[in-house]
Amino acid sequence: MGRWDINSGLMDYQVLAYYCIVAIEDPQGEVARHKEFFSTRDFKGRIYISEQGINGQASGSKEAAEEYIAWMQSDPRFQKMPFKIHAAPEHAFPKMTVKYRKQLVAIDCDVDFSKRAEHISPQVWRQMLEARGQETVVIDVRNNYESKVGHFEGADLPDLETFRKFPEYAKQLKQARDPAKTTVMMYCTGGIRCEFYSALMKQEGFDKVYQLDGGVINYGLQEGGEHWRGKLFVFDDRLAVPLNEGSEPISHCVHCGCPNDVYYNCANMDCNELFLSCETCLKQHLGCCCNDCKSAERVRPCQENAKPFRKWSHEEKIALKNGTHLQS
């Protein structure tokens, strides 16, 4: 059974995923403390800090990553915070961003963290998947564009573009299933969304709720791709990564319908939607998701790779406005 190997290959960088639900009295001060730490180190990523805790995805040189982990674990608040680590040949993020965020997860309602579900290890999760019956529901707690390229076999995939709508989904599930008899297994990318949504499930009356410890990332590190179909969507330059080698696409090119799991941002700047496309169709449609976008006024040059589009500089925007950019 294949597993992600964080030490394989000649990789110069490490990609870290981590979070901790803990009371932070001065989150703005913690933001400043982080910015000072990163000011002298080769580190890039997105880190959000609030009164609820911290949520981070970042990449750094091996030395910088090790220094950051040691620095964080020297703080009693984060001493036991696990870091999920992957090796990479380059940075997975374009820049370093550390911000205060009122909600670590966009949910727009109060959450009683004392009701969070029990964490179960990847090994136990796999065993529960193999033994589940009619009264067990496996819920993919991610957006629809994430589950489209990869998910656990037999999982319920809520068709939600944003999980601000998850409370509504939980109420609908309560109408469809008896909370007293239903066992709920929940998973997300790294685990933090389950901390919020599992508590909501319990508030709706579901007592037997379990969450995959460390999310799919940890499952891939421990169990490989067993019972997983497709790839894992990630919020960095990689966009989608396999849990083991040889994974087959379960999604399709929006243009020709061939098996494909590569996401691109639409070249129409006023659209910018993620869409799945093969390389042939990408070039034929000038990097756009549909014909309407292809004929739009503000179309960027076709992407040559699947990395997310970056914000353009002022000079690039002026060139586009003046029609001096070139489409490939």
Locate the domains of the chain by residue range: 13-100, 113-223, 263-321
Question: Does residue 34 register a pLDDT over 90?
Answer: yes
pLDDT of 316: 46
Among residues of the chain, what percentage have pLDDT more than 90?
71
Question: Does residue 237 register a pLDDT over 70?
Answer: yes
Looking at residues 62-79, what average pLDDT do you find? 96
d(CA 318, CA 204): 52
CATH class of 13-100: alpha beta
Looking at residues 215-237, what average pLDDT do you find? 93
pLDDT tens digits for range 102-140: 988 877 777 788 889 999 999 999 999 999 999 999 999
Say which residue, 24 or 3, is predicted with more confidence. 24
d(CA 83, CA 88): 15
| pLDDT-based confidence at residue 291 (cuts at 50, 70, 90) | very high
Looking at residues 292-320, what average pLDDT do you find? 69
CATH number of 113-223: 3.40.250.10
pLDDT of 10: 63
Question: Does residue 94 register a pLDDT over 50?
Answer: yes
Q: What is the 3-state secondary structure (H, E, C) of the chain?
A: CCCCCCCCCCCCEEEEEEEEECCCCCHHHHHHHHHHHHCCCCEEEEEEEECCEEEEEEEEEHHHHHHHHHHHHCCCCCCCCCCEEEEECCCCCCCEEEEECCCCCCCCCCCCHHHCCEEECHHHHHHHHHHCCCCEEEEECCCHHHHCCEEECCCECCCCCCHHHHHHHHHHHHHHCCCCCCEEEEECCCCHHHHHHHHHHHHCCCCEEEEECCHHHHHHHHHCCCCEEEEEECCCCCCEEECCCCCCCCCECCCCCCECCCEEECCECCCCCEEECCHHHHHHCCCCCCHHHHCCCCECCCCCCCCCCCCCCHHHHHHHHCCCCCCC
Angle, CA 117 vertex, CA 114 and CA 122 arms, to 5°: 140
Residue type, 172: Q
d(CA 134, CA 271): 41
Looking at residues 227-255, what average pLDDT do you find? 89
Question: Does residue 247 register a pLDDT over 50?
Answer: yes
**How many other C-beta atoms lie within 10 A of the C-beta of residue 191?**
26
pLDDT of 321: 55
pLDDT of 240: 86
d(CA 183, CA 115): 15
pLDDT of 174: 93
Which residues are known catalytic residues?
188
pLDDT of 327: 39
| pLDDT-based confidence at residue 152 (cuts at 50, 70, 90) | very high
pLDDT of 7: 44
Among residues of the chain, what percentage have pLDDT more than 70?
89
Question: Does residue 146 register a pLDDT over 80?
Answer: yes
Question: Does residue 242 register a pLDDT over 70?
Answer: yes
Dmax (CA) for the chain in angstroms is 64
CB contact at 8 A, 51 and 23: yes
pLDDT of 2: 43
pLDDT of 21: 94
pTM for the whole structure: 0.83
Question: Does residue 245 register a pLDDT over 80?
Answer: no
Say which residue, 231 or 247, is predicted with more confidence. 231
How does the average pLDDT of the chain come out, rounded? 88
d(CA 49, CA 5): 29
pLDDT of 281: 95
pLDDT of 314: 45
pLDDT tens digits for range 172-208: 999 999 999 999 999 999 999 999 999 999 999 999 9
Domains 13-100 and 113-223 share a fold: no
Looking at residues 16-22, what average pLDDT do you find? 95
